[in-house]
Amino acid sequence: MKDSKLNPIRVLIIDDSAFSRQTIKEILEKVPQVEIAGLAYDGQDGMAKILKLKPDIVTLDIEMPGMDGFTLLRWIMKEKPLPVIVVSAHFDDPTVFKALELGAVDFVKKPTNRASKELREIENDLVSKVLVVFSLRMEKLKKALSLLELKESKNNYLFEDNSFEIIAIGASTGGPTAIQTILTRLPEKFPCAIVISQHMPRGFTRQFADRISNISQLHVKEAEHGEPVESGKVLISPGGHHMVFEKLRKKIYTILKDSSGKDKYVPSIDKMMKSVADIYKSKTMGILLTGMGNDGKEGMLEIKKKGGFTIAESEKSAIVFGMPKEIIQAGGVDKVLVLQDIPGELLKKLGKKP
């Protein structure tokens, strides 16, 4: 990784709105580690300036006249792989997830697609993500994207081992691709409940859940308050909320709590995993995937303390190794696995018989 003090993070801003380009430029110019490499008004202009200016990172609006963001993304990943952050107001449709599947590493939600001072609300989110993705190694991202293309046989499995009743998965930057890779490789009638906290803002998680449900054999949905946790169902914590659980008589139900506004990580992986461990104890499996920071560390330690089984994604595949590294260094991991080996490990631990 380059030293950003000696070599600033050079960002190319691509957006068809002159107001958005200027606002994003003013936001990033205030960051000492960042240098604005240039501005581009559409995909064709962006392509030319990537070749000429050789930026470290691109911020990209998807919906533009002429060559749109999707076309440019395909070209970037094939010809000049570099980290792309989508900055878009289109957050309530499949646009963002299509961009992630094409290679974008993260996204920032514009509060409006109009020229408005509201755009400055993205400042903290945008700056933090630019600083995070600067450390990405693009070969890991390309490997993760290639896993999405692999078509695996749809075998039927018989499960005889009831050692685990629930799997709790946590992820942040790079997580949507990693989660999709795991869930699309699990068979129908999976014998455990799966609960997921992926750091996402409000408005994204329902589309994320629906998209995975449509391409996997599992029933995947955005969790609702008071919903029962059941074997074979995958519940994704809604953006902007924390997901915890309570036991009433013999059933377990979801409890959704609003973010306080002061929470560093939303949804909180730690809160979800601690709650799961308190209820399911040794019948819990925890998986911590790619992401920056230390969310999930305390939750994984709690799962381990209660006798559960823990897996962390390996540095060899994690797009951002921050979160897995934290729990590995804390000694709270039973196995460290590259992403493509995690689904097989789940089937092995559950006693599958093809």
Strand 233-236 and strand 193-198: the pairing is: parallel
CA 270-170-352 angle, 5° bins = 120
Domain assignment present for residue 150? The answer is no
Percent of the chain topping pLDDT 90: 63
Please say whether the beta carbons of 126 and 59 come within 8 A: yes
**Where does the pLDDT of residue 66 fall: very low under 50, low under 70, confident under 90, or very high at 90 and above?**
confident
Active site residue 295: yes
Please say whether the beta carbons of 308 and 209 come within 8 A: no
pLDDT for residue 331:
97
**Do both 264 and 208 map to the same domain?**
yes
- Quick check: 4 pLDDT over 60? no
**Do both 163 and 260 map to the same domain?**
yes
Task: Tell me the β-bridge partners of 286.
Answer: 168, 310
**Do both 212 and 337 map to the same domain?**
yes
Place of tokens 């440019």: 72
**Where does the pLDDT of residue 142 fall: very low under 50, low under 70, confident under 90, or very high at 90 and above?**
confident
Q: Residue 310 corresponds to which tokens in the numbers above?
A: 């823990």
**Do both 116 and 192 map to the same domain?**
no
CATH of the domain at 310: 3.40.50.180
**Do both 339 and 287 map to the same domain?**
yes
DSSP state of 341: G
Task: Tell me the β-bridge partners of 352.
Answer: 159
pLDDT for residue 292:
87
Span of 27-31, 122-126, 289-293 with lowest mean pLDDT:
122-126
Strand order in the sheet with 34-40: 34-40, 9-14, 57-60, 84-88, 106-109
- Quick check: 51 pLDDT over 60? yes
**Do both 192 and 76 map to the same domain?**
no
**Do both 251 and 183 map to the same domain?**
yes
pLDDT for residue 244:
98
**Do both 162 and 80 map to the same domain?**
no
pLDDT for residue 63:
85
Active site residue 237: no
Q: Residue 6 corresponds to which tokens in the numbers above?
A: 């000696």
Q: Which is the catalytic residue, given 172, 197, 216, 275?
A: 172
CATH of the domain at 24: 3.40.50.2300
Please say whether the beta carbons of 29 and 127 come within 8 A: no
Q: How many domains is the chain partitioned into structurally?
A: 2
- Domain of residue 244, residue span: 155-353
Q: Which is the catalytic residue, given 88, 197, 199, 275?
A: 199
pTM: 0.86
Which of the listed residues 89, 105, 136 is the one where a domain comes to its end?
Answer: 136
Which residues of the chain form beta strands (DSSP E)? Answer: 9-14, 34-40, 57-60, 84-88, 106-109, 158-159, 166-171, 193-198, 219-222, 233-236, 241-248, 251-258, 284-288, 309-313, 335-337, 352-353
pLDDT tens digit sequence for 149-204: 665 545 566 777 678 999 999 999 889 989 999 999 999 889 999 999 999 888 78
pLDDT tens digit sequence for 234-281: 999 999 999 999 999 889 999 999 988 788 899 999 999 999 999 999
Active site residue 199: yes
- Quick check: 116 pLDDT over 70? no
